[in-house]
Amino acid sequence: MLVFAIRSLLLLALFCLSVGTIAADSSDASPARKRQTQQSGMMVVSIAPAQAEPGTQVVVTLGGIADGVRISLGGDEIPLQKLDTDRIAFDVPAGRAPGQYVLAIKAAHGVTRSYPFTVKPLRPVAVRLEPDRITSCKADSQRDIVVYGRNFVESSQIVFDGAIIQGKYLSSEAVSFVAPRVSGGLHQVAVKNADEIAAPLGLTVITAPVVNSVTVGEDRVSSYDLVIEGYNFQQNSIVIVDGVQVDAFSRGQTGQLSYIDCNRIVYQRCPFSSTKHDLRIQVVNPGGEISQITVIQVP
């Protein structure tokens, strides 16, 4: 009986020692397993937006606490802002070239999650044209148009009535171009960056003749010159004098026209008498566009 009792006590002691060791191992391993679970379980709930222009704010929502998180885009670490316990934000760096990058989100404990992120070309914004109205007879050196806005780059293109024409980069807020020779009316001008295009602006091209002044020029014995000045005159323009048409081929009492340039026409007049009276003068272009009436008192 004594031997049996001693054996029972020894077995009981060994059992208690074994239970204590297991409990201690379990207690020590629990935080490690917890850390491992946290590491393997780091979750990115959303990245919004997943593609953006430079300067755009991107919000990252995490499935846990955002403390200590770091972010890099294309291998370059970028500053971030903590919005709340599980949300952070960053701005797409200004000047970043368009393309697809790796967005790496690194937790404080070292786990990194990587996602594709697309940097879009800057969408250009066109605000105004200067000037926004030109006359058709301006020389090429006087047909420069400046587009003011923002987000222009050196590779920006000018789109005129849907077709790309040559432009000149002035700054991120201005580009210029020479207005092509086109018909009169309203034309559309836009700026394009890669696949992004600004809302178009309107450029008005004025082709109707405009008379600014009529003055007496050279005076002869039986005729004198009336100098008609303005703009948008054409080589085949005609002049209406008191309802009578005068052109370059007119002869006799009606007189004759000499086209000088788009700003000047000389009307050689052969009057019936030297008595002065009101003369009503208009210029008409081949397309039928007609100027306002100008009145001058001459023979």
Q: Residue 256: exposed, middle, or buried by beta-carbon count in 10 A (0-12, 13-18, 19+)? A: middle
CA-CA-CA-CA torsion for 74, 75, 77, 83, nearest 10 degrees? 50
Listed in sequence order, the residues at least 6 apart from 39 whose beta carbon sits closer than 8 Å to its beta carbon are 107, 109, 110, 111
Checking if the pLDDT of 61 tops 90, the result is yes
Span 260-284, pLDDT tens digits = 999 999 999 988 888 999 999 999 9
Query: Over the stretch 14-45, which tens digit does the pLDDT of each residue have?
Result: 444 443 433 333 334 334 333 433 444 568 99
Q: For position 161, what pLDDT does the model report?
A: 97
Mean pLDDT confidence for 126-153: 93
pLDDT of residue 119 exceeding 70, the answer is yes
Instruction: Please give the residue that has the higher pLDDT: either 123 or 248.
Output: 123
**Per-residue pLDDT band at 3 (split at 50, 70, 90):** very low
Q: Which string of DSSP letters, residue by residue, matches 81-132?
A: EEEETTEEEEEPPTTPPSEEEEEEEE-TTS-EEEEEEEEPPPPPEEEEEESS
Torsion of CA 75, 76, 80, 85, to 10 degrees: 20
Kindly give, in sequence order, each residue whose CB lies less than 8 Å from that of residue 165, ignoring residues fewer than 6 positions away. Answer: 158, 159, 177, 180
Structure tokens belonging to residue 22? 């297991």
Query: Using CA atoms, how far apart are residues 265 and 21, in angstroms rounded to an integer?
Result: 114
106/112 Cα distance (integer angstroms): 4
What are residue 143's DSSP bridge partners? none
- Cβ-based burial of 92 (10 A; exposed 0-12, middle 13-18, buried ≥19): buried
User: Look-up: residue for tokens 């001008």?
Assistant: 189
H or E element that contains 267: strand 264-269
> Which residue stretches of the chain are H helix?
2-40
| pLDDT tens-digit map of 162-210 | 999 999 999 999 999 999 999 899 999 999 998 899 999 999 999 999 9
Q: What percent of the chain has pLDDT over 90?
A: 64
pLDDT tens digits, one per residue of 75-100: 999 999 999 989 999 999 988 988 99
With H, G, I as helix, E, B as strand and everything else as coil, classify residue 34: helix
Cα–Cα dist 193/175, whole Å:
12
**pLDDT at residue number 24:** 36
For the chain, how long is the longest CA-to-CA vector?
Answer: 165
Q: What is the mean pLDDT of the chain?
A: 85
CA gap 157, 73 in Å, rounded: 28
Instruction: For residue 49, give the nearest of 118, 96, 114 by alpha carbon.
Output: 118
Q: What is the pLDDT of residues 199-243, one digit of tens each?
A: 999 999 999 999 999 999 999 888 899 999 999 999 999 999 999
Residue 259's pLDDT band (cuts 50, 70, 90): very high
Domains and CATH numbers, the chain: 44-119 (2.60.40.10), 125-206 (2.60.40.10), 210-298 (2.60.40.10)
